[in-house]
A and B are shown apart, each in its own frame.
Chain A
């Protein structure tokens, strides 16, 4: 196995919907503990790439590897299901629209998957829920239902739910895009804390200042290709590609803040 030392390794990722090619031969890797932001205009393929990592949007070509194991293995249906379910347990995902389970309490949202998949006892599950919810500052809402929470609170619970599976990698798909501006910060704080704990994170975001302040590396995508990548200081302040500059001009206010 070559290059097994790369933690997340995307090799020649290609994705088409019929004629439309949304990912064009993308290769990139992420180290253990690294925090990477993927930015770019809508339709650039950044969410598709993120969702390809845990095979929510299967690639039409190329490979995705996590910690030396190929995620999108070519296997017969049943074997593949088993394989992908095991892989997904190691990859947490946070969605733009939270996708909390509305019929379950905050506690059950967090404990459902660990209980079903890891066979932990009720007592262990409760301890796990308390630990994870405390981590995101939502312990006092443990017996609430999702409909009784604000957007920021929902997203913090969604992060706790993902973390309860003890993932090796966290994917954030525009986690703050659906939030009212005043609720963004509480979610950003939770993500910053995770970053400080060296969780490996791949973050698709429109928030340039967050990307600049938290991420080790910024990847700018446009039209299905990686146009430019590098540390935030370089990509934001000294972009070499015209397309990057043009994109950043449109996000100037964020750019200015991020550059501080």
Chain B
């Protein structure tokens, strides 16, 4: 292992790691928004919305994220969607992870005991009030850990945007291999940085989960 080389190039990798973090944060935020909408659609009392929610989930979970990204970035201009690589990465991957988050959120909501809704409704609360005050606070607690799994997958999933030339960690590693011929070192640095990001995030999620736990 060429430590001297690592010390020389790692500042560039840190810059790239910032891009990976930005991509992660933005795709996760977009994913959470899509997930909330998707779950609301899946659980709607309107059949059309339920159908659209289900279609969203099966299309985006049923095809490779890389294909979705290519369709958006390379195919987009053909149908009048012009995005730069970073924008395409955020939108493509955010909408993709949103499909997984839809199922996570829906699962947490339906696993709250139906007796909870019944108790709230018998007191006179409306459907919406019962959901907001009784079901949702309990579902939110249940969804922290499984959303953490989605988030973990998404951070690693940002590596896909290297394929559309966004200068993040994986792309940076590939680029330095071209000039250094040291793939082991370059991917090693990238790997370590991914692991740091994921470990810190994981700790944060575990902390939230503990905070949210009921007595």
Contacts and interface: CB of A to CB of B under 8 A. Distances in A.
Interface of A: 54, 56, 81, 85-86, 88-89, 91-93, 95, 97, 99-103, 112-113, 116-117, 145, 147-148, 158, 161-162, 165
B215 A145 contact: yes
B135 to A, nearest CB: 10
Given A116-B133, A145-B215, A95 B118 contact: yes
Contacts of A95: 115, 118-119
Given A97-B115, A101-B116, A102-B214, A112 B122 contact: no
A203 to B, nearest CB: 16
Nearest to B124: A89
Given A81-B127, A116-B129, 11 more contacts: A56-B122, A85-B126, A88-B123, A92-B122, A95-B115, A95-B118, A99-B113, A99-B116, A112-B123, A148-B215, A165-B124
B134 interface: yes
Contacts, number: 64
Interface residues of B, number: 21
B130 to A, nearest CB: 10
Interface of B: 113, 115-116, 118-127, 129, 133-134, 137-138, 141, 214-215
B192 to A, nearest CB: 40
A81 B115 CA distance: 19
Contacts of A91: 122
B111 to A, nearest CB: 13
B116 to A, nearest CB: 6
A113 B123 contact: yes
A162 B214 CA distance: 23
Given A81-B127, A103-B137, A147 B215 contact: yes
Contacts of B141: 103
B128 to A, nearest CB: 9
A222 B137 CA distance: 40
A81 B122 contact: no
Nearest to A108: B133
Nearest to B137: A103
A103 B123 contact: no
Contacts of A100: 119
A161 B121 CA distance: 13
Contacts of A117: 123-125
Nearest to A144: B215
Contacts of B121: 56, 85, 88
Contact of A162 (B123, B133, B134): B123
B123 A99 contact: no
Contacts of A54: 122
Given A81-B126, A85-B125, A85-B126, A99 B214 contact: no
A102 B141 CA distance: 11
Task: Give the 5 A-B residue pairs with the shortest CB-CB distance, closest first.
Answer: A89-B124, A99-B119, A113-B123, A93-B122, A99-B115
A56 B118 contact: yes
Contact of A103 (B118, B125, B138): B138
Nearest to B132: A116
